């Protein structure tokens, strides 16, 4: 065989091998991402300098330790429970014993709208339970609400409606306050990949059978602040934040027996973690 033919065959073989190798590399499938777990259970814990609920202090300006557990299913179903120390049932003279704990139970269904990764909805119910012994004649402060929420990226609008006899036991003019509703407009805007985020909120409480003057219980509330979530290391996932909150609630209605105005404007700092 001539040298030129040998060279030609050698070159052809090299080309075939190279092409085969390239095809093999191209044809190799990329590793598939693992599917999300069908069932998810998480826990959360937090320490707050004050427990503010809808613009009103639940701990008379004192710190609160909070935490809970959440279960979710890939279908959108979720259930959870959450608790915090409080003081207002005793501070307003409602409980003879206890009244130092709020224990919530909730569940619902949330998901994205079909064909959209930005728009979502949440439908559910929440029961606020306050263990302890009330004084005789005091209205039950346990409260049951249903809610509906609409979410877009970092913004949310949530409407809550009271279906129990009263909204946390308040009766400004002596009538039941079932049918009270609260509108919560909130946003958490992430600042790129920095871990920082801006927090904003506006809310409106409309108390059914409300009073007037100093006995008016309805109000607007708002807050603004920022948070930072640690991205890595041993403290990964811990969120540290601060915000300032205020409202236009009537001082007389929300001042407890100790003389503390639970509706006063205040600043809050916190640290929390979800596991």
Could you tell me if 74 and 118 lie in one domain? yes
Could you tell me if 246 and 168 lie in one domain? yes
Could you tell me if 189 and 119 lie in one domain? yes
pLDDT, tens digit (0-9, with 9 covering 90-100), for 50-99? 999 999 999 999 999 999 999 999 999 999 999 999 999 999 999 999 99
Could you tell me if 74 and 146 lie in one domain? yes
Could you tell me if 13 and 45 lie in one domain? no
pLDDT, tens digit (0-9, with 9 covering 90-100), for 148-165? 999 999 999 999 999 999
Q: What is the CA radius of gyration of the chain?
A: 28
Contacts of residues 227-230 at CB distance under 8 Å and 24 or more positions apart, as own/partner, are 227/188, 227/196, 227/197, 227/199, 228/195, 228/196, 228/197, 229/195, 229/197, 230/195
Please give the residue range of the domain that contains residue 9: 1-32
Q: What is the CATH number of the domain that holds 143?
A: 2.40.160.40
Could you tell me if 87 and 223 lie in one domain? yes
Q: How many domains in the chain?
A: 2
Could you tell me if 110 and 55 lie in one domain? yes
**pTM for the whole structure:** 0.86
Could you tell me if 251 and 268 lie in one domain? yes
């Amino acid at each position: 065989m001539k040298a030129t033919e040998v060279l030609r065959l050698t070159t052809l073989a090299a080309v075939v091998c190279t092409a085969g190798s390239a095809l093999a590399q191209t044809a190799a499938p990329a590793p598939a991402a693992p599917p999300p777990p069908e069932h998810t259970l998480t826990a959360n814990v937090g320490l707050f300098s004050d427990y503010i609920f809808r613009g009103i202090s639940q701990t008379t300006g004192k710190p609160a330790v909070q935490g809970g557990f959440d279960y979710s299913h890939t279908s959108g179903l979720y259930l959870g429970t959450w608790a915090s120390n409080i003081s207002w049932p005793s501070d307003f003279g409602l409980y003879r014993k206890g009244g130092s704990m709020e224990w919530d139970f909730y569940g619902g269904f949330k998901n994205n709208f079909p064909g959209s990764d930005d728009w979502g909805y949440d439908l559910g119910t929440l029961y606020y339970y306050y263990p302890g012994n009330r004084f005789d004649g005091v209205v039950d402060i346990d409260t049951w609400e249903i809610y509906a929420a609409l979410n877009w990226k970092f913004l949310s609008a949530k409407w809550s409606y009271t279906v129990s006899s009263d909204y946390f036991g308040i009766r400004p003019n002596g009538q039941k306050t079932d049918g009270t509703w609260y509108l919560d407009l909130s946003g958490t805007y992430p600042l790129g990949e920095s871990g920082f985020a801006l927090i904003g909120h506006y809310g409106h409480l409309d108390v059914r059978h409300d009073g007037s003057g100093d006995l008016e219980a309805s109000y607007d509330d708002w807050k603004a602040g920022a948070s930072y979530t640690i991205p890595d290391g041993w403290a990964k996932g811990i969120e540290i934040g601060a915000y300032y909150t205020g409202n236009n609630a009537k001082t007389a209605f929300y001042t407890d027996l100790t003389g503390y105005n639970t509706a006063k404007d205040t600043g809050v700092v916190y640290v929390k973690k979800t596991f």
